[in-house]
Structure 1
Amino acid sequence: MESFDTSRCGWVGTEPIYLAYHDTEWGVPERDSRALWEKLVLDGFQAGLSWITILKKRDNFRAAFAGFDPEVIATWGEADVQRLLGDAGIIRHRGKIEATIGNARAWLEIEGKQGFDRFLWDYVDGEALQPRYGAQSEVPPATPLSERISKDLKKAGFRFVGPTIVYAFMEACGLVNDHLVGCDCHDRCAALKAG
């Protein structure tokens, strides 16, 4: 998807990195298991912070977390936690770092059984949900579906995957198209809803 300069969702702001993220990535259906896992990890790190903070540090996160390779991260221990706690380029939060290591192990389990992509997309029968919100105030912070996915992820061993984090992740990965109907991205993402 190409960037553009017309109607956008109101949450975007004016920073070029945020505009590009909104215009080309947010809400586009993601079907790659590893990319989905990376986005879930980053949404977990975002808890309590603004998304722009994470977006600006995303390349640092990728470097610090071995390109978000779950097979590598799943082998990490306390020495790696300490290394990451000393990395000023990322969010240095012990609980979130330890959760990422545990989440890599949980991801490997799901990926081995059915594929993490299929695990997630099965919740929406393989096709992005298409609400038609006209105002940001209509968009919920969580839904019964994000609560269900959150519970299932926690049961599978994931942490930092509460219903609000999961809903933000669903929006980011295009499992739900929450671009407002007045946003030029809404119809473009809607056209990509099926894989």
Structure 2
Amino acid sequence: MKLEDIRREYLKDGLSRDLLANDPISQFESWLKQAVDAELADPTAMVVATVDENGQPSQRIVLLKHLDENGFVFFTNTESRKAQELAQNNQVCLHFPWHNLERQVIVYGKAVPLSKMAVTKYFLSRPKESQIAAWASAQSRPVSSRNILMEKFSQVKSKFAQGEVPLPSFWGGYCIEPHKVEFWQGGANRLHDRFMYQKQSDSTWQVERLNP
């Protein structure tokens, strides 16, 4: 297998300035709907990139759970690696890779913790097994075997067999408030269409085309 020979052309679509919405949230909502309508696997999956105290970046995939004019929302264990890094540096980069549509969206912004009310509302909407898993997993910390993890899951499941599963004290969420958002559409001969929205001091958005 020669990696340098693995390639394809991007021929699905083009992107021009007159096709773009005036703000990136509206544009993202339009593209997300098209991704959902195209029945892509996990259209809300996004890479979250954070940086630790030594400047080492790390990435992981989470699911976008809410979107409004303020930004992009996800939930997590607040004792996880990503949450610990966000506590030290709240600058975040998100990446939505919609390969089948030959599209990408990159979001640059800051992570703002959500209120307990917002976190509770979301947590109570999760399937009960997912709620139990949140209690059972000490996210990002070592575990000696999967059997240990499943044993902890069973213990928590028995503990909360009756009634609602309460919100863990170590469960939270973030809104990524964007200041730059890039929309990428694949183009023939690697001449891709790229547009960057940049937030201005008056909260309007400037849009410019980038070289591929």
TM-score, length-normalised on structure 1? 0.28
TM-score, length-normalised on structure 2? 0.26
Greater strand percent: which structure? 2
Greater helix percent: which structure? 1
